[in-house]
Amino acid sequence: MALLNVVLSFATLFFTLGLDQAYVREFHEADNKSLLLKTTVVPGLILLVATLAVSLIFGPLLSKIIFGLDSIGVSWLLAIALFCSFLSRFLSLVLRMNERGLAFSMSQLLPKAFLLVIILFFLLFDFAKTFECLLLANTLAIMLAFSIFAWNTRSEWYQSFFEKVNILQLQKMLSFGFPLILGGLAFWGMTSLDRILLSRWSSYSELAIYSVSVSFAAAATIFQSVFSTVWAPMVYKWASKDEGYDKITMVGRYTVLFVVIIFCLAGMLSWVISFFLPAQYSSVQWILVACLAYPLFYILSETTVVGIGIARKSAYSMLACILALLVNITCNFFLIPSFGAAGAASSTAVSFWAFLVFRTEFSIYVWKSLPRFRMYIYTLLAVIGSIIGSLKQASAAPYIYCFWFGLLLFCIFDYRHEVKMSINKIAKTISHYS
C-alpha cells in the first residue's frame, strides 16, 4: 500500500493545480469565501474527472499502469480513492482556515482510524487476504473520512454551488499556484531520491540502515506537521491586518532556539538508540542526527519564507525547491558511493540547509529584510556537527559529544531572553492547570 499512498499524494499534488495553497493564501482577504472555495476546487476537479473517465473507458488501464494488474475492479477502486482524496484535501482546508482545530485534527486521523477498523473487520469475518481486499479497505476508509468531512463543511460547500466562478480571480490564483506544483515535485525529489540512489549506488543493507534512521527522525515530523498547520493561516491573517512583521521575527527567534536544542539533544543522546537495535544497525545512532535536518530545517524555513506567500511570488518558492534539489543530487552523487547511508544523510543535511537559505533569501528579496545572521551560523554549525558525526561515527565520538554540549550551552546563553520567557510561560501554564 506504500505505492497507493505515493499515487494518492502525487495525484493530489498535481490535480489541485496549486490552488489549495492559493485558497490558504487568499482566505483571509476574500470577501466571498464560498466563491473562493468553488474557484479553487472546480478546475482541478474537472481535470481529475476527465482523466479518470478516459482511463476507465479503457477498463483495466489504470490498474495496469499503477499496479501492473489486469483488473477493472482495481481501476474503479483506485479512481474512487483518487476522487475522494482530492475533495478531502480542500474540505480539510475549509476546517483548517475556519480555525476548527478539533475537526481538522480529526480529518488527519480519521482515514487511518477507519482503515484499522475495516481491516480488523475483514480479519474477523475471514475475508480473503488479497491485494484487492486491502485496496478495498483503503478505499472504504478514504470514502468514510470524506463523508465526515463533507458533513462537517456542508454549509460552506453547499453555498458554493450557487456561486459563479470568477475567471479573473482564477487566473490570478493559477499564476500563484502553478509554480507550487513544480516546487512540490522538486521537494518530493529531495525527500525520495536519496532512497532510490542508495539502492543504485550502494547496497540494500545501507538502504535499510538509512530507512531506519529516517524512521526515527520522523518523530520530528510531528512538530513539522503541527507547526505548518497552524503557521500559514496565522501568518496570512496577520498580513491581512498589516501586523505580521514583528510577530514573524519573534517566532523566528524562538524557532531557531527550538531547532538547535533538538539537534544538540539528539546529538548527545542518540547513543540510547543502540540499545533497541541489532548490532548491524549500530550506525543509526550517528546517522539519525543528520536525518533530522529535513523536518527541523523545514520548520525553520516556514518562519522565513512567509514573504513569498504574502507577496504572491510563488515562482521563488519553486526556484528554492529546484535549487535545493540540485544540491541534493550533487551531494548524493559524491557521497553515496563512498559513504552509503551516512553519505545520503549528510546530503540531506546539506540540501535542506541550502533549502532554508534559498527560501529565506528569496523571501527577503520579494518582501522585507529579516534578521538571519545568527540563524545561519547556528544551523550551519548543526549541519557541520551532524555531517562529521555521520561520516566519522565512533572514531570522533568524544569530540562530537563535546561539540553538541558546547553548542547547546552557547545557544542557550545567546538566546537567554527567549529561554527565560519560555520558562516563565511554561510555569504560568502549569500553575494555571494545577
Residue 153's H or E segment, with its range, is none
**Does position 392 have pLDDT exceeding 80, yes or no?**
yes
The predicted model gives 143-148 an average pLDDT of 90
Q: What HEC string does 230-280 produce?
A: HHHHHHHHHHHCCCCHHHHHHHHHHHHHHHHHHHHHHHHHHHHHHHHCCHH
- Contact indicator for 87, 49 with CB cutoff of 8 Å: no
The predicted model gives 129-147 an average pLDDT of 87
**Does position 433 have pLDDT exceeding 80, yes or no?**
no
Domain definitions of the chain by residue range? 2-165, 181-433
- Contact indicator for 233, 95 with CB cutoff of 8 Å: no
DSSP 8-class letter at 29 = G
Per-residue model confidence (pLDDT) at position 2 = 55
Per-residue model confidence (pLDDT) at position 261 = 96
In angstroms, the CA 114 to CA 141 distance is: 5
In angstroms, the CA 214 to CA 264 distance is: 17
Per-residue model confidence (pLDDT) at position 384 = 97
Per-residue model confidence (pLDDT) at position 172 = 86
State the chain's mean pLDDT as an integer.
Answer: 88
**CB-based contacts of 169, cutoff 8 Å, min separation 6:** 35, 36, 39
**Does position 229 have pLDDT exceeding 80, yes or no?**
no
274 grid coordinates: 543502540
Per-residue model confidence (pLDDT) at position 3 = 67
Q: Model pTM? A: 0.81
> What are the pLDDT digits (tens) for 161-217?
888 888 888 888 888 888 888 888 888 888 888 888 888 888 888 988 998 898 888
**Does position 301 have pLDDT exceeding 90, yes or no?**
yes
Amino acid at 31: D
**Does position 1 have pLDDT exceeding 70, yes or no?**
no
Q: How far is CA 222 from CA 80, 218, 296, in A?
A: 29, 7, 10
- Contact indicator for 303, 372 with CB cutoff of 8 Å: no
Per-residue model confidence (pLDDT) at position 235 = 82
User: Rg for the chain (alpha carbons), in Å?
Assistant: 23
In angstroms, the CA 22 to CA 104 distance is: 19
Give the closest residue to 90 by CA, choosing from 29, 156, 138, 135.
156
The total number of residues written for the chain in this structure: 434
Q: What's the pLDDT band for 32 if we cut at 50, 70, 90? A: confident
> What are the pLDDT digits (tens) for 337-372?
999 999 999 999 999 999 999 999 999 999 999 999
Per-residue model confidence (pLDDT) at position 230 = 76
- Contact indicator for 190, 330 with CB cutoff of 8 Å: no
The three-point CA angle 427-104-34 to 5° equals 125
How crowded is residue 279: how many other Cβ atoms within 10 Å of its Cβ? Answer: 6
**Does position 416 have pLDDT exceeding 80, yes or no?**
yes
> What are the pLDDT digits (tens) for 62-102?
888 888 888 898 899 999 999 999 999 999 888 888 877 66
In angstroms, the CA 374 to CA 196 distance is: 35
